[in-house]
Amino acid sequence: MKLSKKDLKILFLVSWYPDRTHPIKGIFIKKHAEAVSKFCDVSVLHLIRDAQLKDNTFELKYCIENKVKTIRIYYKTKDINIPVLSYIYKLIRYVKLFYTGFKTVKEKSGTPDIVHVNVIYRTGFFSLFLKFINRINYIITEHSSEYLPESEMEKNFIRRLIARLVVKNARYVTTVSKSLKKAMIKRGLKNKYLIVPNVVDTNLFYPLKIRHKRKKKRFLHVSSLGDEKNVSGIINVMKRLSETRNDFELHIIGEGENRKKLEKLSKDLGIENRYVFFYGAKNTKEVADAMRSSDCLIIFSYFESLPCVMIEAMASGLPIISTDVGGLSEHINKERGVLIHSLDEDAFIHAANYMLDNYLKYNTNKIRNYAVENFSYDVIGKRFKNIYNSIL
């Protein structure tokens, strides 16, 4: 039986989601929920450890964000000196809070028709309870790069066991890239897989109508500045590039524990506030504005799944210089940018020189249209709705 938009109730059970302790963590999951909410009644349940709370207390917050009914439970647990007892205590505490949240979901929206697990570890375990106790089927969307070959997950027995149980009993598993699907299957996580990429707000991310040649072309990098992003490698390349030309700038948006170290590197190389500029964290609208003011996005990561910044750049009509890792090579071709091998700074310099001389030759509208056709809210929301309907 195909349920109507009004009838179909979806519960997003999320391991990552923006909250007051981590305002941007899991923002890509929030965007998926918003895309689905265009076609279904969507609720989100998220449990968050909050060190600011008193011991053994919790705080339940309910709100509606962009049509998504959102339940966040902030909690803190007592520390027990005996590791095994501490683990059991925290697990029981977590399970109780989960059922408190699930009860609230049913009060606000009724019993879900489908549970949509986002990121297996932690919340995936509860999808098994809901399937076997409440008889609610579930699908999984996995975003985590921990399944990729570069990850250490294979050494964690508990995570492997939970992942296999949860995946085995899901109706479908969706991944944001083909590379992540292959990595999960290689780790023994067998099921019916579908590719559903991340989503972008194409009303917020859009290109300028007319692009002008600048004296100083602008490279843009947006990330959490983590080690895997190899921002130090980008800065080293900018230094080498500055030795042969001076018609460019690199603008870095992002906040993280490496920021001071990266600023020091730029200063030591003599390029801070001359060729390299740091701006810290910016909200989504500010990132969209920065993309419209830039000429090329740079991604020099060691590994990736499918970064939202890539599809945001495409929606903004920007060409991209990127390492050939994860799902990036599935969408970047000669019409949309340049792919280079990870760690290959010589290839990066060659690509940067080419981009500075040829960025205006890229067809902004074609890049933009590719994003609209593959990553827009309507496209992704309908794809998930079709998956749900195939189960019911």
CA distance 103 to 110: 9
Question: What letter represents residue 351's amino acid?
Answer: A
pLDDT at residue 147 greater than cutoff 50: yes
Output the CA–CA distances (angstroms, integers) from residue 290 to 109, 218, 279, 318, in the order listed: 39, 10, 11, 11
pLDDT of residue 125: 85
Least confident of 70-84, 146-160, 254-268, 350-364: 146-160
Percentage, residues of the chain above pLDDT 90: 80
Residue 77 pLDDT exceeds 90: no
pLDDT tens digits along 12-60: 999 999 999 988 889 999 999 999 999 999 999 999 999 888 777 899 9
CB within 8 Å of 380: residues ≥ 6 apart: 32, 35, 36, 196, 197, 198, 199
Note the CATH architecture for domain 217-374. 3-Layer(aba) Sandwich (3.40)
Classify 344 as helix, strand or coil.
coil
Strand segments, DSSP code E, in the chain are 9-14, 41-49, 58-65, 68-75, 114-118, 138-142, 172-175, 193-195, 217-222, 248-253, 276-278, 296-299, 320-323, 337-340
pTM: 0.90
To the question of domain 9-199+376-391 being in CATH 3.40.718.10, the answer is no
What pLDDT shows up at residue 88?
80
| CA pair distance 151, 223, nearest whole angstrom | 19
Where in the chain are all domains bearing CATH 3.40.50.2000? 9-199+376-391, 217-374
pLDDT surpassing 80 at residue 244 = yes
What confidence category does residue 134 fall into, taking pLDDT thresholds of 50, 70 and 90? Answer: very high
Mean pLDDT over each residue of the chain, to the nearest integer: 92
The mean pLDDT of 298-307, rounded to a whole number, is: 93
Residue 366: the pLDDT is 97
Nearest to 311 by CA among 290, 336, 334: 336
pLDDT score of 2 = 47
Q: What is the pLDDT of residues 366-377, one digit of tens each?
A: 999 999 999 999
What pLDDT score does 3 carry? 45
Around Cβ 368, how many Cβ atoms within 10 Å? 19
Residue 167: pLDDT band (50, 70, 90) is very high
Identify the band that residue 391 occupies on the pLDDT scale cut at 50, 70 and 90.
very high
Whether 84 shows a pLDDT value over 60: the answer reads: yes
